[in-house]
Amino acid sequence: MTDFSPSDGSVPARLITSEGREAAVKRLTAAFAEDAIAVEEFERRVAAVYKATSSETLAALTRDLPTGATGGSSVPARAEASRAVDGSRARSRRIASVFSAIERDVAGPMPEILHVRAVMGSVELDLRDAEFPPGLTEIRVRSVMGSVEIDLPDTVRIENDGKAFMGSWVVSSRRRRGRERPADGPVVRITGRSIMASVEVGVDD
């Protein structure tokens, strides 16, 4: 019988299965969704998961995570807002989908900052009827193993400052023929990251 034991008598490292890698990524994703690790640390560890050559190395990448970050629970989509108390523009609003899906048509005044998060879920936002005041509106997007789609009106100008890590980040701008955007009109700055996910932002009429 062939002996595959190391010649030095040490215990051989266990090989990693595809299921083991997937479980590690899901646990890291759940920890990231719960803000247990920062985005830079999440990216570093996910890259290390796919480079790991033994299950012991894989286990070390998730050993310090909270025990509740298993990736198996279902967290409903939620929306949070910080409202203005004097009738002025709200400072921020948060729309998040974690292990779920959300579709929303948004009307009325936009906040200064809109946070959009999709973690192993999807968010579809139609902002074509939303009110964008003159000046800057920032939409901060974070998509992890999920998808985000945002439709904007063709009256806004876009500043694109997003990044993708093992995913896609696409911002396209189409406007009605013959219609010019005023130089002092509303500006929407799209920032954030797509991590093993997709983000699509479109400007249409």
- Condensed to tens digits (0 to 9), the pLDDT of residues 154-185 reads 889 999 999 998 899 999 876 655 556 666 78
> What is the enclosing helix (H) or strand (E) of 131?
strand 130-131
pLDDT band at 27 (very low <50, low <70, confident <90, very high): confident
Q: Choose between 10 and 196: higher pLDDT.
A: 196
Distance in angstroms (rounded) separating the CA atoms of residues 4 and 35: 43
Residue 3 resides in a domain = no
SS (H, E, C) 67-85: CCCCCCCCEEEEEEEECCC
Which position has the higher pLDDT, 122 or 27? 122
Q: Based on the domain organization, do 172 and 124 belong to the same domain?
A: yes
131, 97: one domain = yes
7-21, 60-74, 166-180: which has the highest mean pLDDT? 166-180
Q: Would you say residue 83 has pLDDT above 60?
A: no
**190 pLDDT above the threshold of 90:** yes
Domain limits for position 99 = 75-204
- 111 in the same domain as 41: no
In a domain, 2, yes or no: no
My answer on whether 55 and 79 are in the same domain is no
Is 94 a member of any domain?
Answer: yes
172 domain-assigned: yes
User: 115 or 76, which is more confident?
Assistant: 115
Q: Is the predicted pLDDT of residue 112 greater than 90, yes or no?
A: yes
Domain annotation covers residue 163? yes
- What domain count does the chain have? 2
Which of 60, 94, 115 is where one domain is finished? 60
Please report whether residue 115 resides in a domain.
yes
Alpha carbon distance 30, 23 (integer Å): 11
| Dist. CA 61–CA 28, nearest whole Å | 9
Among 27, 38, 101, 117, which Cα is nearest to 68's? 27
Domain assignment present for 54: yes
User: Contact, 139 vs 188, CB < 8 A?
Assistant: yes
Whether pLDDT at 152 is above 60: yes
Domain check: are 53 and 103 in the same one? Answer: no
What are the residues whose beta carbons fall under 8 Å from the beta carbon of 52, sequence distance 6 or more? 16, 21, 58, 61
The verdict on residue 44 lying in a domain is yes
Q: Which of 94, 201, 93 is nearest to 150 (CA)?
A: 201
If asked whether residues 82 and 56 sit together in one domain, one would say: no
